[in-house]
Amino acid sequence: MAEAAAAAQSAGGGIAHIYSLPPAQEALARHLAHIRLALHFGLEMGVLLALWLLLESGLARWLAQIAMRMSKRAWMQTAWFALGVLLVFNLMVFLPMNAMGHGASLQAGISIQGWLSWLRDEAVATLLMVAVAVPILVFGRWLLMRSPRRAWLWFWLASIPVILLGALILPEVVEPLFDHFEPLTATHPELVVQFERVVARTGTRIPPQRMYLMQASAKGNGLNAYVSGIGPTKRIVVWDTTADRMPKDEILFILAHESGHYVLHHLAWGIGMGIAGTLLLLWLMMVLSEWLLRILGPRWRIGSITELQGLVVLLLALAMLETLSEPVGNTISRAIEHQADVYGQEAIHGIVLDPQRSAVAAFQQLGLAWLEDPEPNPLVVFWTYDHPSIQSRAEFAARYNPWMPGKSPRYFPASPETHSGK
């Protein structure tokens, strides 16, 4: 893999080099693309099927009866029922599907995380999911019992501070449960110095203490950098695999892309759209679940959405809507990622020797590390990709030179000392 990456880099020589893989890796990437697609839709269908089966088989009713025997209080009953449903659900759907995904990732050499360590991460994620979801479901049912018609609206209002708090504590509380983080200055001070040049051009301060290195090499060979948190917890994180293996100019492009998310307020936009989307989703969820109950309530022996099993109907409606709305969220995400690509390439102009070549080489490396399909089906991209395909990102980067005469950069005023036009 290392030789292939080196070959891809040296082959550039100033001329744009579009994403391609050596034959063996390309075959593996195409094979992996099929597995990823099957797992992606398998998980979505699995979620819908499991919820449907819970209702259809009477398992939901049986869990409700147990929950009602466990306590006399309505909120405790909801908590027991929610716990039962979530655990059954996890064992039936998430655990097996995630295990298949991990197996494929191990086989392809993308992950090197042992099964025991993987299982530990799964257990922590499940506990976290239960700790968050059970109180939310208890609160939701409490609202439903008080105001069946307006519960969705009150629930949405209450969700806003929770969404904001979630985004705030994610990097401080949640991410360290799974990975180790340290200040980037401690291990890669030279990278911080370089990156500060990019930051200085953006006009926004990203102080070095908000740059972190994540130890990803213990678990895999993938390359990544990302932004996370809001307000005081906002940060840029670089995986150690990226910091150690990629040439400086390519890392700078990735960091400039990430600082684009930072500067263009993509996190705030994402949260804002999440809040707005939640309102629509909750309303549609109520409408759909009432319709489901009208049609199938008698068959499932559920008279009202306020019954314990009503929660499963709500979850089924939510899962149906999320499955259908997936391309909407992904289309928005791809547009945002493209903006950050444009920003990143403009931000490193004058700092690296050849922004186009650095961007293309970075995509080549990312594609190789994750074994990205060089020719994904456009429909698959439209429906499931939250980033544009590596191929289209590389092709755009190769073409994009806003410093040529007659063109103008989107985010940075053209500086007189441009050295483009190669």
Residue number, 313 or 340, with CB nearest to Zn ion? 340
Residue type, 348: I
Query: Which listed range, 19-27, 57-65, 191-199, 334-342, lies at the site for Zn ion (CB under 5 A)?
Result: 334-342
Cα end-to-end distance, the chain, whole Å: 30
**Cβ density class 276-288: b for 16+ within 10 Å, e for less:** eebbebbebbbeb
Residue 282 or 362 with smaller CB distance to Zn ion: 362
Q: How far is the CB of 74 from Zn ion (least distance, A)?
A: 44
Q: How far is CA 99 from CA 28, 39, 113, 118, 353, in A?
A: 19, 10, 12, 9, 44
Contacts of 252 (CB under 8 A, 6+ apart): 194, 195, 198, 348, 351, 352, 358
339 exposed, middle or buried (CB, 10 Å; 0-12, 13-18, 19+)?
A: middle
Smaller CB distance to Zn ion: residue 102 or 338?
Answer: 338
Residue 227 lies near Zn ion (rule: CB under 5 A): no
Q: Candidates 8-16, 61-69, 271-279, 336-344: pick the segment binding Zn ion (CB under 5 A).
A: 336-344
The DSSP string of 252-272 is HHHHHHHHHHHHTTHHHHHHH
Q: Which stretch binds Zn ion (CB under 5 A): 115-123, 156-164, 268-276, 331-339?
A: 331-339
Q: Which stretch binds Zn ion (CB under 5 A): 47-55, 59-67, 286-294, 333-341?
A: 333-341
CB 95 to Zn ion: min, Å: 29
Return the number of the residue (307 or 337) whose C-beta is nearest Zn ion.
337
Task: By CB under 5 A, tell whether 340 contacts Zn ion.
Answer: yes
DSSP state at residue 22: -
- The one segment of 17-25, 86-94, 123-131, 340-348 that binds Zn ion by CB under 5 A: 340-348
What's the CA gap between 31 and 373, in Å, rounded?
A: 9
Nearer to Zn ion, 155 or 212 (CB): 212
In whole angstroms, the minimum distance from the beta carbon of 178 to Zn ion comes to 20
**What 8-state DSSP symbol labels residue 225?**
E
Name the minimum Å distance from CB 398 to Zn ion. Answer: 19
Supply the minimum distance, in Å, between the C-beta of residue 340 and Zn ion.
5
- Which residue's CB is nearer to Zn ion, number 255 or number 340? 340
Window 120-139: contact mask with Zn ion (x via CB under 5 A): --------------------
Supply the minimum distance, in Å, between the C-beta of residue 414 and Zn ion: 25
Query: Residues in contact with Zn ion, total (CB under 5 A)?
Result: 2
CB atoms within 10 A of CB 364: 27
> In angstroms, what is the minimal distance from the CB of 258 to Zn ion?
6
Bridge-based pairing state of the strands 211-214 and 181-183: antiparallel
Which tokens in the block code for residue 142? 């409490």
- The one segment of 20-28, 195-203, 316-324, 339-347 that binds Zn ion by CB under 5 A: 339-347
* 312 closest CA partner among 289, 282, 344, 278: 289
> What would the two tokens of residue 330 be?
């992904």
Taking the complex as a whole, the smallest distance from the CB of residue 2 to Zn ion amounts, in Å, to 25
Residue 293 to residue 302: CA distance in whole angstroms: 7
Coil, strand or helix: which one is 397?
helix
Considering only residues 373-412, where is the footprint of Zn ion by CB under 5 A? none
Binding site for Zn ion (CB under 5 A): 337, 340
